[in-house]
């Protein structure tokens, strides 16, 4: 399994302009890193103007099913397994059959998906697939990757009925402190 990054446009000036519009002010200068982190962490609506496209290649079908459960702010395009299109009896394909899975998503969706798919309660394979996306985001939008955290770090506590215990560790406290910082690590 691998990720192919397809598209991302740096439109932070558009995002800043939209933000200023929402508060009744004129446009401002290009935002610095701390401003980006504060806006992303606040999850104000202009962050939805920040969009990304990628493709997982040879993603296990069952992991793809985990990903397509996410609906808001993301579109999925998954290779068909229909017998009439592939010539292979779909009923005979294993759940681990590889598929190509392409996505188009906004920054809000990436934050929301990260909360569930980076959690230790997610399957290791699904977590790995999402970590590949976050790693690519970090290369081009480090402030957004900074805010793509698991649910317990996002909330400051674990809401799972049967958590993994990570929220009881020193590393958890460090991760929460880092997430709440306006500076990149």
For residue 124, give the CATH number of its domain.
Answer: 3.30.1360.170
Mean pLDDT over 81-93 rounds to 86
pLDDT of residue 95: 85
For residue 185, pLDDT beyond 80: no
Q: Is 168 among the domain residues?
A: no
Mean pLDDT over 112-119 rounds to 98
Mean pLDDT over 134-157 rounds to 97
Q: How many domains does the chain have?
A: 1
Q: Is 61 among the domain residues?
A: yes
Q: Tens digit of pLDDT for each residue in 5-46?
A: 888 888 999 999 999 999 999 877 899 999 999 999 999 999
Token pair in block for residue 64: 């793809």
CB 75 within 8 A of CB 104: yes
For residue 128, the enclosing domain spans 2-150
Q: Is 172 among the domain residues?
A: no
Q: Is 24 among the domain residues?
A: yes
Q: Is 162 among the domain residues?
A: no
Q: Is 158 among the domain residues?
A: no
Mean pLDDT over 65-82 rounds to 95
> Cβ-count burial of 116 within 10 angstroms (0-12 exposed, 13-18 middle, 19+ buried)?
middle
Tokens 């932070």 found at: 12
Q: Is 49 among the domain residues?
A: yes
Report H helices in 118-169.
Answer: 124-140, 142-146, 151-155
Work out the number of other CB atoms within 10 angstroms of the CB of residue 88: 12
CB 55 within 8 A of CB 47: no
Helix (H, G, I), strand (E, B) or coil at 143: helix
CB 126 within 8 A of CB 117: yes
pLDDT of residue 177: 97
d(Cα 7, Cα 104) in Å, to the nearest integer?
Answer: 9
Work out the number of other CB atoms within 10 angstroms of the CB of residue 39: 21
Q: Is 155 among the domain residues?
A: no
Please list, in sequence order, all residues whose beta carbon lies within 8 angstroms of the beta carbon of residue 94, skipping any fewer than 6 positions away.
Answer: 61
């Amino acid at each position: 399994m691998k990720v192919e990054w397809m598209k991302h446009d740096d439109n932070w000036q558009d995002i800043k302009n939209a933000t200023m519009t929402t508060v009744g002010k004129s446009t401002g200068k290009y935002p610095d890193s701390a401003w980006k982190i504060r806006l992303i962490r606040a999850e104000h609506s202009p962050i939805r103007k920040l969009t990304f496209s990628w493709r997982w290649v040879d993603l296990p079908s069952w992991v793809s099913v985990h990903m397509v459960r996410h609906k808001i702010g993301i579109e999925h395009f998954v290779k068909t397994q229909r017998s009439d299109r592939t010539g292979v009896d779909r009923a005979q394909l294993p759940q681990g059959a590889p598929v190509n899975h392409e996505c188009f998503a906004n920054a809000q969706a990436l934050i929301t998906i990260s909360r569930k798919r980076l959690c230790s309660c997610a399957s290791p394979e699904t977590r790995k697939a999402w970590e590949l996306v976050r790693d690519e985001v970090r290369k081009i939008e480090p402030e957004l990757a900074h805010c793509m955290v698991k649910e317990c770090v996002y909330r400051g506590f674990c809401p799972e009925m049967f958590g993994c215990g990570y929220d009881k560790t020193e590393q958890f406290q460090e991760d929460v402190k880092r997430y709440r910082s306006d500076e990149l690590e």
